[in-house]
Chain A
Amino acid sequence: MAGDAGVLPLKKVWVVDGAAAEADVQAQAQQVRDLGWQSVTVFPPSAETRQSWVIVGEGFAVG
């Protein structure tokens, strides 16, 4: 990529305590987007997420 604009093929998961307020989690997800993560998905607490909030970011922008 050599410093040019582009998207790095990266993926990151943030697991947030299920007790966190939804508004705070959504604000955190927005910050993830602002930092450069291109695709950000928020999963609410459920049996599948073991009652935690899960934020998944995919593709990190460069430039």
Chain B
Amino acid sequence: MGAQAWRAAGTAALMLVMVLLGGCRSPALVGAPEPLMTADELEASLKPYLGPDVVTTYQGKSGADQTNYRDQVIYARIAVIDARFKAFLTGLGVESKSFGIGADAAVIGLNTGSVLSGGETAKNILSGLAGAVTGIKGSVDKNAFYDQTVPTLVSQMVASRREVLAGMLGKMQTANYTLVEALIDLEGYEFAGSFAGALQQIGQKAGNQLQVAEARLQQLATTRLQASDVAPDQIQARAALAGRIQGLTGPQAIAAVKQAATLPAFSATVQQAQQAGADPASETGARALLKLLLSDAFASTGTLAQLTGIINGVSAP
């Protein structure tokens, strides 16, 4: 790569930074200034690093030259992917400033400049990016998807892109990170900035959250019922008892739970409910616990009679 081409690449990177930083200074209104360099123009200026022969060129080099060339290809492609991503957002009518995209791309641009000038190392950038990834990751949840589809998807894209970018910058600290591996990561970086990539991430998060929620559910003992247990008269009898539970005073409900907790038929459920957050010492908690115990007492095994006896006992004058 000749000095002239490098100057072109450096100029392109600096121009990109200027464009993006300029965007950051603009008022928070919809729209953006006319870019100094379009994605196509930037792509044309970095063409030597975008062709299919970069791997061959890379393999023809060795030592520091090879590593430097790898970095140049990576930065050039990141710059083009970012420019396309910004154009994509502009097409969506999304204000890139809202997502801090300008800042990200500026960091990349400055890093490109540092490679050219041999200045700042990427370590400082990594630390900043790591914080940014931490800040944005986890802020996207599936519920918001329904209310603010595009902003949520774009937020997810930005978070995913930062994560992939941070990973690439980390790998670039070693010479063992080959250009072929980097090209694969760049594919991932590009995909992260797409609707498909964002949807994939959100779906994966939703699945993880569901698994966590499932794991948190405490499974109470299974109750086996005969057909006669769900006959209308039985259901009516339990509904009557539920009504009586609702009519208990606070102290009566608390006393009833206290008694039930001592019986083998109900002690495990009371204990599990407490572990799940129920408070048997409060009026609301005690009443809910009694209803929970009633749902344990559907079978004609004497548990309903036991619970009825407790309610009779605490409500007797």
Contacts and interface: CB of A to CB of B under 8 A. Distances in A.
A3 B225 contact: no
Given A13-B222, A57-B295, A8 B277 contact: yes
B217 A28 contact: no
B176 to A, nearest CB: 46
B218 interface: yes
Interface string A30-55: 01101111000000000000000000
Interface stretch (B52-60, B134-142, B155-163, B283-291): B283-291
A48 B285 CA distance: 36
B231 interface: yes
Interface string A10-42: 111111110111001101100110111100000
B235 A34 contact: no
Complex A-B, nearest 9 residue pairs according to Cβ-Cβ distance, in ascending order: A3-B282, A20-B227, A1-B277, A28-B230, A62-B288, A12-B220, A8-B276, A11-B217, A24-B230
Interface of B: 213, 216-227, 229-232, 235, 238-239, 242, 272-273, 276-279, 281-285, 288, 291-292, 294-296, 298
27 contacts: A2-B285, A3-B279, A9-B216, A10-B218, A10-B220, A10-B273, A12-B220, A14-B223, A14-B224, A15-B225, A16-B229, A16-B230, A17-B225, A20-B225, A20-B227, A24-B227, A24-B235, A27-B230, A27-B235, A28-B298, A32-B295, A34-B242, A35-B242, A35-B292, A35-B295, A36-B295, A62-B278
